Amino acid sequence: MAQIFKAKKKPLKQQSLVLDITAMDHHGRGVAKHNNKVCFVTGALPNEQVKATLIVDKARYSEAVTQTVLQPSEWRTPAICEHYGTCGGCQLQHLAANQQVVEKQRAVTKLFEKFAKLTALNWQAPLLSDPSYYRRSARLAVMFDKAAKKMRVGYRASGSKRIISINQCPVLSKVFTKVFTVFDHLVNQHKALHSISHLQLCAADAENYIVVRHTKVIPDAIKQLVEHSAAQQHWQIIWQSDSAVIDHGHLAMPFYQLEQLGLKFEFGLNNFIQVNADVNQAMLKQALNWLQLNGDETLLDLFCGIGNFSLVLAKQAKTVIGVEGVASAVAMATQNAHTNSITNAQFHCFDLTSNIAAAPWFTKNIDVLVLDPSRTGALAVLEQLPLKQFKTILYVSCDPVTLARDSAIISQAGFELNKIGLMDMFPHTGHIETMALFQRR
């Protein structure tokens, strides 16, 4: 058999560069020019000059990491966390919180110009929350560090599987302030707990839950020690030995309330909920305000989850049809409709990446479409829907690239982008949540 010679890939010779930063991309990286191509610079801000180390050099772009700030931006600020720069959870703590929103909006504007060919966007006021202690849910990693000969409890380092031991996290709900130190002590005191792989945290309205995922049997006596320590912090422990099943049926059902809207949402700990409660409530009120429903509409809510948008909008629409691909979420949405005495909402479990030609939930009398997809966007379903039948489309996005891409399809179908606004669901990170309202021309 002939053997084809393959030259070994030469490792990149790390270079030290002086770069002038002109903008910020949608990941929160500074943008500069190097060798007549774009260079993305981690840790740099617009209008700064930095000394950086080149780490990636491709044909069309390069990447670098800031080493020294030679000329700082007026918006550069000290990080609020002692672990910033090593922990991979936050990317923008070096930028003032109010300016983070400004730069994110500029980045989204550029994406719309590039992918949707839309300019002069009608930006609305952003939806904001306190930039500290806003996360009501999170996932912590637990792993044995061979070099340190100890278990670590924390977050993963940026771009790495390595675990950073955390003392406290200033973006995590205050009810979990001591979770890192409590579990660091427990797992290093008891070898039986070395099979723990992660902790899933959720601060619901009435109780605080910690799902402890473990790969080997843990003796009941050790479990009781953990539960006793957790009870002192007002945490409920759920043991998860099977990664596909979180059994919390013996505890009160987690829930959150939207008091201003008079709704209560129960959810399973395996269901998706928005991590920022304040922004979630503001987002739902904005959806109602933007849509201006009059009670005659039939509304289709795709990627509806546990009914977060569906049940709010059902209060002002004639009929709401919610569709979701996760069966447990559909069950919760149906239960939440019953709990809230909402009778004009129905829910269907359907894979929205598949062929919808024979979908039992689709009818030609639907006039409002709501989309709240994952980061992959709604391309598969948008390419199949007869978009021209809708009067209004409300798109809620957690990825500005797929939003801009999908907006091109909506625009080509005869819609005008009427309003757009940022929702700062994840302060201090590069994540961008956006709401866009399209009206048929």
Active site residues: 398
Q: What gap in Å lies between CA 288 and CA 422, rounded to an integer? A: 16
Q: Which of 41, 105, 112 is nearest to 401 (CA)?
A: 112
Alpha helices in 161-249 (DSSP H): 179-189, 220-232
Q: Which of 344, 339, 348 is nearest to 263 (CA)?
A: 339
The H-or-E segment that residue 98 falls in is helix 97-111
Contact between 53 and 71 under an 8 Å Cβ cutoff? The reply is no
Q: Quick one: residue 410, left, alpha or beta (phi over 0 = left, psi -120 to 50 = alpha)?
A: alpha
> What values do phi and psi take at 89, rounded to 5?
-70, -40
Helices 179-189 and 220-232 sit at what angle, rounded to 10 degrees? 160
Burial bucket for residue 168 (CB in 10 Å: 0-12, 13-18, 19+): middle
Contact between 97 and 421 under an 8 Å Cβ cutoff? The reply is no
Contact between 273 and 333 under an 8 Å Cβ cutoff? The reply is no
Q: What gap in Å lies between CA 227 and CA 233, rounded to an integer? A: 10
Alpha-carbon distances of 376 from 245, 306, 353, rounded to whole Å: 25, 19, 10
Q: Both tokens of residue 332?
A: 């919760």
Q: What gap in Å lies between CA 66 and CA 120, rounded to an integer? A: 33
